Amino acid sequence: MAASVRYLLKPWTPSLCFVRWSRYNPYYLDPDPSKDAVPESELSPEQKELQELKTVRPIKAALSSDTSSPFNDPLMSKFINMMMEDGNKILARGIMTQTLETIKRRQVEKYHKSPAAKREEVECNPYAIFHQALENCKPIIGLASVQKGGKFYQVPVPLTDNRRRFLAMKWLITECRDNKHRRTHMYEKLSQELLAAFANEGNVVKRKQDLHKMAEANRAYAHYRWW
């Protein structure tokens, strides 16, 4: 009874807060949240042009998840957003932190167990492992469904960088959600998959290889593309 009454006394905060709208006029430039400024002499002519453009053109508002700290990693942010469900960013970030910790623990254990000669090969930085694992999961060629003469053919097609990154992350997340024992936590399974992908093994890399094999099998239809 007292708790319900006390609830009425807390200060009013708006339940909705404004969020940066994602659709901007293409005239607007992307923000750069990093603090370190490269000195003028080290910039290439294109980068100098970009700097000059930034003084003239309007810039989009920064997302609340983009910080100027050195720990801000856009790839990591994208992965966390993809893992997030129902807007529960706290849970997604927690899972990611636990994953990185598990990876670090495993690698440090491996480091100490290995002989002195092999110690330098063991990668202990979980961020480096994450980046390399994602690179190993990215497909190079994809398949597109093209209609020709009433039938649909799977045509090998080059993919854009964004599409490749998206596919790698999607495969990783679906693999970790579906193919696990019901009692293993997400972070455990994710860490296992990331370490396997880092070593070019595991189900995600196998899925990428299967896609490549399908593309290779259908290479005769490559001319059905018109773009």
Task: Specify whether the CB–CB gap between 139 and 167 falls below 8 A.
Answer: yes
Q: Count the site residues for other proteins by CB under 8 A.
A: 18
Q: What's the half-sphere exposure (Cβ side, CA atoms, 13 Å) at 187? A: 16
- Subset of residues 129 to 148 that bind other proteins, contact rule: CB under 8 A: 140-141
Q: What's phi and psi for 141, nearest 5 deg?
A: -125, 140
207, 209, 214, 219: CA torsion to nearest 10? 150
Minimum distance of other proteins from residue 129's CB (angstroms): 17
For the CA atoms of 156, 157, 158, 163, the dihedral, rounded to the nearest 10 degrees, stands at: -110
Q: Is 216 in the site for other proteins (CB under 8 A)?
A: yes
Q: Does 156 bind other proteins (CB under 8 A)?
A: yes
* Nearer of residues 80 and 215 to other proteins, judged by Cβ: 215
Give the residue with the Cβ less far from other proteins, 95 or 215.
215
User: Contact with other proteins (CB under 8 A): which of 50, 108, 114, 158?
Assistant: 158
Binding mask 173-212 for other proteins (x = CB under 8 A): ---------------------------x--------x--x
Q: Which three-class secondary structure state does DSSP give residue 2?
A: helix
User: Left, alpha or beta for 182 (phi > 0: left; psi -120 to 50: alpha)?
Assistant: alpha
Binding segment for other proteins (CB under 8 A), chosen from 85-93, 103-111, 181-189, 216-224, is: 216-224
Interface with other proteins (CB under 8 A): 140-141, 156, 158, 160, 200, 209, 212-213, 215-216, 219, 222-227
